[in-house]
Amino acid sequence: MTAEKILQIDRTHIWHPYASIVNPPPVEIAVRARGLEIELASGERLLDAVSSWWCVAHGHNHPAIVEAIRRQSEKMTHVMFGGFTHEPAARLAERLAAFAPPGLDRVFFADSGSIAVEVATKMAVQYQHALGRSRRTKLVALKGGYHGDTVGAMALSDPDGMHTLFRGIMPQHFFAEQPRTRFDGVWQAEDFESLRQIVDRHSEQIAGIICEPVLQAANAMWHYHPQYLREMRRLCDERGLLLIFDEIAAGFYRTGPRWAQNHASIRPDIMCVGKALTGGAITLAATLADKNVAGTISAGTPGAFMHGPTYMANPLACAAACSSLELFENNDYETKVRGIETLFKQGLAPLAALPNVRDVRVIGACGIVETRRLPAPDDIRRVIHKHGVWLRPFSNFIYSFPPLVATEIEIRRIIDAIAELAACPPGPVIDDGGFHE
């Protein structure tokens, strides 16, 4: 098919994420991808500075992952998980339980991050129900957070963010103020007061607390002090609440250590993983619970945990994730990410002096430049093609979450592109209802 034909069909029939179908923003035609590069129909190659929405940790089309999918596809691409199990699921569950924080070893496979969050929410409610606390049907979440696009996950995401339009159909939860002490700042105890007050006032309605540990990604691109997580853990223990960490963006070394919660040396009762789980090859997510959560749910009525997606534990996805986890185990990503962090800190910090830059934040392999207003779309496209670096600014953020295998030269190219973009004048005000990634 010619490029023109693809674009014509695309414009006629296809919705893109957070885009109008009548007046869509331009799209590139991706033909193949390998390592850090995405090749376009024109033959041009772009360095993927956002890991295709933070999934592609080991680089695109990693040969080991491709081979794992190919081998599995010859045996069985899918089978229902009700009444069946299979080796890829067993291998992955064993590997994931060993890779996860100790104790989080009961695995529910979901088909996307949003669904893993829905599953975690239902686990928390079912847990409290099993303990005879059936009025505890709400969670506390944080302002500035993001947990997905399905209705239940939207309802836990920033209440003033991109989903306000849907307020009328969303379940109502409680929201604590966004933690303001920066990750590397001096802990301010009053940061925790908002959350503590909500729990004091409403604890008989609350099943648990959910947050993105340390790194609030898709909504606020903000990082906060790990002491906040320790305070959360203590409060949950005192009040019989479950603590849920959404590590879908921050897990798998994105912030430095294997899990973002490791900055605080505590673990939650339930944890969601996704995105980099398969190394960006195919969709898969999981909700991990500990023995207490799993045992309590099982001892209640109905005992069964009430969820089961059609494509649960898809064998191709499980095989890809097994291979991805093997790569996470066998590479020293913690050191690699520290190297990326140092380069980002050196290269991006000076941008804070630019007139259109409000703040620069770096944690692990996350380089974030908060602008006053994003440059014009034409400037963004020009910089992308001039440098051959794929950036996807959103809200007022120019950022890079590169594949963890990026070399120093590649990181420097990304920094140069971000620097040129950050120096552009602010573009027009775009009213897109809180457009996000």
Ligand X SMILES: *Cc1c(COP(=O)(O)O)cnc(C)c1O
Which spans of this chain sit near ligand X (rule: CB under 6 A)?
112-114, 117, 146-148, 212, 217-218, 246, 248-249, 274-275
Name the residue nearer to ligand X (CB basis): 250 or 369.
250
Name the residue nearer to ligand X (CB basis): 112 or 356.
112
Task: Tell me which of 246, 269, 290, 333 is the catalytic residue.
Answer: 246
- The span from the CA of 68 to the CA of 316, in Å, is 8
Nearest approach in angstroms of CB 334 to ligand X is: 21
Q: Name the region of 275 (left: φ>0; alpha: ψ -120 to 50; beta: rest).
A: left
CB crowding 205-229: b at 16 or more within 10 Å, else e: bbbbbbbbbbbbbbbbbbbbbbbbb
Cα–Cα distance list, 99 to 107, 223, 277, 305 (Å):
12, 24, 11, 24
Q: Is 224 a catalytic residue?
A: no
- The span from the CA of 326 to the CA of 339, in Å, is 21
Q: Is 127 a catalytic residue?
A: no
270 by DSSP, 3-state: which? strand
Nearest approach in angstroms of CB 146 to ligand X is: 6
Asked if 47 and 56 count as a contact pair (C-beta separation under 8 A), the reply is no
Name the residue nearer to ligand X (CB basis): 148 or 161.
148
Nearest approach in angstroms of CB 382 to ligand X is: 28
Short-list 320, 285, 336, 251, CA closest to 61: 320
Measured torsion, CA atoms of residues 33, 220, 27, 6, in degrees rounded to the nearest 10 = 70
Measured torsion, CA atoms of residues 372, 377, 381, 386, in degrees rounded to the nearest 10 = -50
Nearest approach in angstroms of CB 272 to ligand X is: 7
- The span from the CA of 239 to the CA of 209, in Å, is 11
Name the residue nearer to ligand X (CB basis): 108 or 415.
108
Q: Nearest residue by C-beta to ligand X?
A: 113
- Using CB atoms within 10 Å of the CB of residue 22, give its burial: 0 to 12 exposed, 13 to 18 middle, 19+ buried: exposed
Name the residue nearer to ligand X (CB basis): 72 or 112.
112
Nearest approach in angstroms of CB 260 to ligand X is: 10
Nearest approach in angstroms of CB 79 to ligand X is: 23
Q: Which two tokens stand for residue 201?
A: 């006032």
Name the residue nearer to ligand X (CB basis): 146 or 224.
146
CB crowding 63-80: b at 16 or more within 10 Å, else e: eebeebbeebeeeeeeee
Task: Tell me which of 10, 18, 311, 359 is the catalytic residue.
Answer: 18
Task: Tell me which of 224, 275, 290, 399 is the catalytic residue.
Answer: 275
Q: Is 5 a catalytic residue?
A: no
Name the residue nearer to ligand X (CB basis): 120 or 422.
120
- Give alpha helix (H) positions in 241-356: 291-299, 315-330, 333-348
108 by DSSP, 3-state: which? strand
Nearest approach in angstroms of CB 215 to ligand X is: 8
Q: Is 228 a catalytic residue?
A: no
Give the active site residues: 18, 146, 246, 275
